[in-house]
Structure 1
């Protein structure tokens, strides 16, 4: 057994050993698999910790419940049960063997052979497993590939892609996360050869992979390679420039902010509202995601030289998140260096200025004699414009003067519109 000092933190103590202890009974084994193992080997945060086991799903559920853990049958028909321990969910999947594949989903049966289960996975670096004692099981050279910054399929690359065409996107996502240098030639050739199969994948699966890809550490160069071989356009329908992702990543590092997948997707593929509409359809985006991309399409052409007053008006109109989306995308597309003071001042504006509450209501206008109806909305809009132009004053006297001016202008305009035309003789 390895000493605890050699184990990853998440395996040395806490929830994971407790869960493994509850499941690894009566001759069944449990190991950590997937991203947590890869990330431990390269010194990255673990992310989600997934487990694999020889126990069948019903047995997993029963043992977890007996230990007092919450059980969610997220994919029990396919062998996966989610076990919640102290608020954290862990996917536990029974070892499987493929019976048939159609390029989208595999038909599987449960098994007990760890090597056979590893052999059905896509990449060598995704086929490793780690026991509770810290023993690494690596059947296909994944650890060496990970150390060399290589992402390659297990066995025949094209056969693996045919099993599930989503592996085309997974190749690029894994490359952007773990690889160095060029994309594996055999893997790339297989993905290009099977590109027609992308059209058969569900929009939800495409969305999940694209969001992970654009947030990966080397997304810029990888997306450019994907665009160069015609694969990115097949998924997104259009791309502005992948090089801008590298510029945004440099800005993020300079400002100590993490990657935002929706924002990065907007930078990569949205110039207009039509682009946002297209992505909503292709990737089954949520309404909130679409609104953010739509905002980028409408408003990324920001000029820092316009001044702080204009920036405040935008921040007031779209809120902090919408403002940052537009500013950071504009920053990256401008080509300005990450230390550009004008752009950095814009990025920081939501931290040093909070848009005030609009201090005028329809009730106040009625107290001043304006009749209820559409005129209320028209005057409120005019007051709001004057209030923003005056740099959002809060004092009662200043606000009252703006209301007076708006009402006077409204009354004058209405009188002129209602005056009968001059008669000609």
Structure 2
């Protein structure tokens, strides 16, 4: 196979905001090249989100040069050589070429260099170590182009050494396989990940949570998680492991019925213990609340899966939660989904309820728990009756 020598024509190369950053940095013999996701994604035809730049210029020099060019420099990771340059309102992460001086499995002490090959060899996967000049010419010191095009997620050099530098790379290995892999998982990488999985215990829950969010939303999440479960890695992240088979059914249902599912719905299906999941992944309050709502209504719909129950779920929690809960309830039960119920959950627009707290107070109810219980009872009866316009239903 003839490999491409350039990505000339990539839209981000023609972006004036990008060009201003490159022109500001490339002075006095210093060079700047795009590296990582932007190059990889362009090669494989995937949209580019962020453009990261590597340079021979030290970080303080980068900051001074871009400031002189009228751009904003933010020292987001100055100790590790990273300056975020803001050009036309867009951030570009600019990092000086580095060599690791010392690593502890979580963080690294680095020295700045001018060695492009050395910088490439300290990165994680070959597909992430392809560089592109501002004109699109490619520099591929570790054969990353072939791996990117083949969908082969391969560590650079010795997988065990790369993992020992940062144990988060175990999770990144599975995440990249789930998102970009098109062949079987690299045997050497898998063996190293399994052998060194205890290192995951040294990572912060915040870093684990951020990586797992990306993994769970990847297209190939199920086979990746299944292998993590089989090798014991998933149990190190989620106490009790995860309900991978249930997540698989949920995703299959969503694909077959054309209903996209978000991160919280996937986590609700995967969770064996919701509280443990929240703690293990450091879920935000919003994420945990939404997962709780999906699980609650899935429990409700599992006991009664009919139009009245779906209407009540929509009324109480909204269309998105009701739809997700219905899919989860069906995935748990393992039976076919009633498409009419799904369409109802997705599309139903309920009229405003004629049952109100003010109306109940006018009837003599006193504000408090009893009033709330009666309000919920009458609302449920109104919904079960088909949402008539009169409030008398359930009196």
- Alignment TM-score > 0.5, same fold: yes
State the Cα distance separating 1:365 from its structure 2 match. Answer: 3.3
Aligned to 1:82, the other structure's residue is in SS state strand
Q: CA offset at residue 38 of structure 1?
A: 1.1
Alignment of 1:250-399 (within 5 A): 250-256=252-258, 258=260, 260-270=262-272, 275-301=273-299, 302=301, 306-335=305-334, 342=338, 344-372=339-367, 375-393=370-388, 395=389, 398-399=390-391
| C-alpha deviation, 1:256, in angstroms | 4.8
Instruction: Mark the structure with the bigger radius of gyration.
Output: 1
| Alpha-carbon distance between aligned partners in 1 of 2:29 and 2:44, rounded to the nearest angstrom | 32
Deviates more, 1:198-207 or 1:77-86: 77-86
Deviation at 1:33, TM superposition (A): 1.3
Residue of structure 2 in register with 1:129 after alignment:
131
Aligned length: 391
Q: CA deviation at 1:3?
A: 12
8 Å contact 2:312–2:380 — kept in the other structure? no
Unpaired runs of 5+ in structure 2? none
Q: What displacement does 1:331 show?
A: 4.3
Cα 1:256/1:304, change in 2 over 3 Å: farther
Q: Does structure 1 retain, via aligned residues, the 8 Å contact 2:242–2:271? A: yes
Residues 43-54 of structure 1: matches in 2 within 5 Å?
A: 43-54=45-56
Name the structure 1 match of 2:190. Answer: 188
Within a 5 Å distance, the mapping from 1:216-255 to structure 2 comes to 216-255=218-257
- Rounded to whole Å, the distance in 1 between the matches of 2:159 and 2:7 is 37
Task: Tell me if structure 1 keeps the 8 A contact 2:355–2:375.
Answer: yes
> 1-side partners of 2:67 and 2:259: how far apart?
40
How big is the shift at 1:284? Answer: 0.9
Tell me: CA distance 1:63–1:268, structure 2 relative to 1, closer, same or farther (3 Å): same
- 2: CA distance, partners of 1:234 / 1:68: 48
Please report the TM-score for the alignment, with normalisation by the length of structure 1. Answer: 0.83
Q: Could you say what secondary structure the match of 1:263 adopts?
A: helix
Match of residue 412 from structure 1: none
The structure showing larger relative contact order (alpha-carbon pairs under 8 Å, at least 6 residues apart) is: 2
Once the two structures are superposed, what CA deviation does each residue of 1:204-233 show, in whole Å capped at 9, x if it has no partner? 110111111111221111111111111111
1:292 and 1:373 map into 2 onto residues whose CA distance is 26
CA displacement at 1:239 relative to structure 2: 3.5
2:222, 2:247 within 8 Å by CA — same for their partners in 1? Answer: yes
Is the CA contact (8 Å cut-off) linking 1:128 and 1:136 kept in structure 2?
Answer: yes
Decide which of 212, 215, 234 is 2:214's aligned counterpart.
212
**Given that residues 8 and 135 in structure 2 are in contact (C-alpha distance below 8 angstroms), is that contact kept between their aligned partners in structure 1?**
no
Aligned-residue offset at 1:172: 0.7
Query: Is residue 294–residue 322 contact of structure 2 (8 Å, CA) maintained in 1?
Result: no
Counterpart position of 2:8: 6
TM-score (norm 2): 0.89
1:91 is matched with 93
Structure 1 stretch displaced more, 172-181 or 195-204: 172-181
* Aligned CA distance change for structure 1 residues 10 and 246 (closer, same or farther; 3 Å): farther
Please give the residue correspondences for 1:93-108 in structure 2 after superposition, counting only pairs within 5 Å: 93-108=95-110
Structure 2 distance, partners of 1:194, 1:248, is 31
Q: Unpaired runs of 5+ in structure 1?
A: 407-425
| Structure 2 SS opposite 1:6 | coil
1:86-130 superposed Cα distances (whole Å, 9 cap, x missing partner): 443222222211110001111112222211111111111111111
How has the CA–CA distance of structure 1 residues 305 and 359 changed in structure 2, closer, same or farther, with 3 Å as cutoff? closer
Check whether the contact 1:292–1:325 (CA below 8 A) recurs between aligned residues.
Answer: no
DSSP-derived class of the 2:313 partner? helix
